[in-house]
Structure 1
Amino acid sequence: MGLSERERVEFLAEPHIAGLAVDAGPERGPLSVPVWYDYVPGGDLLFLTGAESRKAALIAKAGRLTVLVQRTSPTYRYVSVEGPVVGSGPTTLEQLTRIAARYLSPEALPGYVEGSDPHALVTFRMAPQRWLSADLGAL
């Protein structure tokens, strides 16, 4: 059964590892990779990646992407959202810290942030446009 709008945005706002998919061009399937992200209900989905990475180049070229988050323990639930890239720019220390804090323990966060180079990263913003969702425990 599909999730209500409130359920799906709340689920997406939780710190799941996202599977990001973007068009990789002719003769290839989409590039599909895991990413850390940040999302506040009603806003854009933000994630960062290496500024010189293949992923960054493909996202810039395609201009849109899909993100899938899921929970595999009972009950199985997923949210898939697709939309246009509405912004990109150099990653700030605040963005790096905020996104990493969703996934790392408070003890690990300072070392991770200090060991990262935000100048080598780019942050993308995607506007959620089309949603798919299900909670198989609701059947």
Structure 2
Amino acid sequence: MALTREEREQFLAEPHIAALSVDAGGGRAPLTVPIWYQYAPGGDVWIMTGLDSRKNRLIGAAGRFSLMVDRVTPTIRYVSVEGPVLGTEPATVELLREMAARYLPAGKVDGYVDFAWKSHGEQVIVRMRPERWVSSDLGSV
């Protein structure tokens, strides 16, 4: 059964690990990789990735990407969202902290942020407007 707009937006707002897919061009299958993301109901999605990463280059070339999140308990549920890139901007330590706090226990955030800010190289924020949604709750099949 498809989710309502409110159900799918709330599900996407939960801190799932997403599968990001973007056209890889040149007769290749789409690049699909796990990624952290941020979303609030009714808003835009954003991800953080390396400025020089393959993901960032492919997203820039394609101008759009998809995210898919799922869970298997207590029911099998998923949401997939696709849309155009609204823009990119340099990452900030504040946005890195926001993202880390979404996924990590509070006691681990500062250590991770310090490590990531010093070690991951230049990062960018890529914002996407959800345009197409696919969702379902298959119950407890």
Normalised TM-score (structure 1): 0.96
Aligned equivalents of 2:128 and 2:41: distance in 1?
A: 13
Which runs of structure 2 are paired with 1:1-139 in the superposition (5 Å)?
1-117=1-117, 120-137=122-139
Amino acid at match of 2:83: G
User: Gapped runs of 5+ residues in structure 2?
Assistant: none
Contact 2:76–2:140 under 8 Å retained in 1: no
CA-CA distance at 1:138 after TM superposition: 7.8
Structure 1 runs, 4 residues or longer, greater than 2 Å off = none
User: Gapped runs of 5+ residues in structure 1?
Assistant: none
Contact 1:90–1:119 under 8 Å retained in 2: no
Give the secondary-structure state (helix, strand or coil) at the position aligned to 1:19: strand
Contact 2:87–2:126 under 8 Å retained in 1: yes
Deviations 1:47-84 (A, max 9, x none): 10111110110001100011000011230000000000
State the identity as a percent. Answer: 54
Give the secondary-structure state (helix, strand or coil) at the position aligned to 2:34: strand
Amino acid at match of 2:9: V
Contact 2:23–2:31 under 8 Å retained in 1: yes
CA-CA distance at 1:119 after TM superposition: 6.1
Normalised TM-score (structure 2): 0.95
Amino acid at match of 1:136: L
Deviations 1:4-62 (A, max 9, x none): 00000000000000000000002100000011011011111011011111011000110
Across the two proteins, how many residue pairs are aligned to each other?
Answer: 139
Q: RMSD of aligned C-alpha atoms?
A: 1.4
Aligned equivalents of 2:115 and 2:65: distance in 1?
A: 29
